[in-house]
Structure 1
Amino acid sequence: MTSHKPTVLITGATGQIGGDTLRNLLADKTITLVAAVRSHAKAQPFTAQGIRTVIMDFDQEHTLAPALEGIDRALLVTGYTVDMLRQSKAFIDQAKKSGVQHLVHLGACGRDDTTIGHWAWHQFVERYIEWSGFSFTHLRPECFMQNLLSYDGTRAVINGVIEQYTGDTRFSWVDGEDVARVAAQALLHPQKHAGQTYRLGYDVQSYGDIAAIMTRLLGQPFRYDAQSPDVFVQNMRAAGAEMAYMTCVQDNFTRMAAGQIPGVEETFDNFSQITGRQPVRWEDFVQKHRKVFAY
């Protein structure tokens, strides 16, 4: 009698965290990987690597049941719009009907009592997953270091100038690749990580601190130019971003700059226990992406 080989669905497979999670799982032969993509064109790179794909679009609910058929575990990653609430509920409901056992949910920052809008939305999704009776692992990454590479397609560091919106506040950061490493472990070993909410943040720096680190490591001057959160909203509107979500981000930045969000400077000691390695810190990240930052 052969043991069942779990099938693991990765949503957001063409994005950063989903894609990194999938790459972390590629070499593991104890599971069958499935990448969820929105079109046959997006499936081609995965198919070329021998990775099974399914067509799934959060906004096309009829695609959910076929995509989730035969899936044992799933990574749930939604986009940066208020639609994430409706999308997550539909996905969770169908996952329950399809017999999915374990859900790993990519959420947002914050303590349980947060009132930052989009952070709270993710906590509603967490509670719905629990209410639905799944085995679960909730991931709450602090600020992504990758935001210094780009945000919503816009470069964040140009000619040595960091234009951001949080004043001089120091807060907690995580490399997105480290978030993916935790997600991969939660998908590989659900019995070990079931019922856990992992807050993921390992280095506390302000943007001014980060500019100083870049200056020291790259041998070029970098500086932080603090902007009003109103500028952020104008930029996001011009970029065509979904404004219900981005208005929450503006509130986040405004309250961050004013020092009005408890816990933003917290770091956590869970990473090495989960992954067996040390988390990336800002010095590591700057060295890793020095070609992007240099000018």
Structure 2
Amino acid sequence: MKHERPTVLITGATGQIGGETLRNLSLDDRVAPVAAVRSAAKAAPFQARGIRTVILDFDRQETLLPALRGIDRVLLATGYTVDMLRQSKAFLDAARLADVKHVVHLGACGGDDATVGHWAWHQFVERYIEWCGFSFTHLRPEVFMQNLLSYDGTRAVNNGVIQQYTGDARFSWVDGDDVAAVAAQALTWPEAHAGQTHRLGYDSKSYGEIAAMMSELLGQPFHYEALSPDIFLENMRAAGANMAYMECVHDNFKRAAARSIPGIEDTFDNFQQITGREPVRWADFIVKHRQAFAY
């Protein structure tokens, strides 16, 4: 049975984008947000805030349809592995059976001609969403500013040194909180965002330029040390990361450093129209997270 208010299921509710989307939706009584969690233990913090939860595990197909029954709209946010393809298809098949109406998909960078591996995987998911006949909104965030706080659990800035793998390339950045703000708008007002692909990137900077801004704004010296992408790959292998995905990231880094990804610097002017405010840019982000960068 449908609820009086549209029900909105947030997958990835314990993650950054999903969690912030849920927080945004909880500030508005137009929809009834539901947090998808993998266990009762993970449900407890949401229930303490008065947020309904359902058990949903992308790798346990038997959990999908029960979690989706009675849901009107969903945010689909999968993990960073090649399993996203299998997981997304099973989830969307269950969503179609459950009569879900609108799907907001958290995708990846690039235009429709993107050939970086994991970007292309997300675009296959986009096409399957469309083939299934859902009303949809595709979100394509560029590079997350939060990557400078940590990447795969590893600090990205240590004692004023940024170690990264893209040479002196400039590329487009977005604050993850801004991605969540757009997701919340698309889930609250699906008719205004149906059939749209929102590319989300608002500040084009290289790591060297970011280090210079940090030095100026925080009053401490910061500098960028460009490392070989091969070092990244070996670090991820040693950490036991999913290598199918990390090989794609390695290729992305190599091509970015070689300046061979067209449009990697592109920024967009859609954020104010969607949310009614300006997006976060690097100066804002640095000041907001000054405690994380200071040493």
The TM-score, its normalising length taken from structure 1, stands at 0.99
User: Counterpart of 1:34 in 2: which secondary structure?
Assistant: strand
Shift of residue 4 of structure 1?
3.4
Q: How does 1:173-184 map to 2 (within 5 A)?
A: 173-184=173-184
2:164 alignment counterpart: 164
Paired AA for residue 118 in structure 2 = H
Q: Distance in 2 between matches of 1:239 and 1:15?
A: 20
Report how far residue 28 of structure 1 moved.
Answer: 1.1
Cα distance in 2 between the residues matched to 1:4 and 1:26: 16
State the alpha-carbon separation in 2 of the partners of residues 20 and 240 from structure 1: 28
For 1:243, give the aligned amino acid: M
Matches within 5 A, 1:108-257: 108-257=108-257
SS in structure 2 at match of 1:105 = strand
Query: Does residue 1:106 correspond to 2:120, yes or no?
Result: no
SS at 2:23's partner residue?
helix
Is 1:87 matched up with 2:70? no
Question: Counterpart of 2:112 in structure 1: which amino acid?
Answer: D
CA distance in 1, matches of 2:198, 2:175: 14
Amino acid at match of 1:180: A
Partner of 1:6: 6
Give the count of matched residue pairs. Answer: 294
Displacement after TM superposition at 1:66 (Å)? 0.7
Query: What is the rounded CA distance, in whole Å, between the counterparts of 1:51 and 1:238 in structure 2?
Result: 39
Structure 1 range deviating more: 113-122 or 234-243: 234-243
Unaligned runs of 5+ in 1: none
| Deviation sequence 1:239-267 (CA, Å, 0-9, x none) | 22100000000000000000000000000
Match of 1:19 in 2: 19
Deviation track 1:30-89 (CA, whole Å, cap 9, x = no partner) reads 111100000100001001001000000000010001100100000000001000000000
Q: Provide the C-alpha distance between the structure 1 equivalents of 2:231 and 2:292, rounded to a whole number of angstroms.
A: 24
- Find the residue that maps to 1:35 and give its secondary structure: strand
Unaligned 5+ runs, structure 2:
none
Please give the root-mean-square deviation of Cα atoms over the aligned residues, in Å. Answer: 1.0
Q: Take 1:98 and 1:13, find their aligned partners in 2: how far apart are those partners?
A: 20
Deviation of the 1:103 alpha carbon? 0.2
Moved over 3 A (4+): none
Rounded Cα–Cα distance in structure 2 between residues aligned with 1:116 and 1:92: 24
User: What is the identity percentage for the equivalent residue pairs of Structure 1 and Structure 2?
Assistant: 75
Instruction: State the secondary structure of the residue aligned to 2:217.
Output: helix
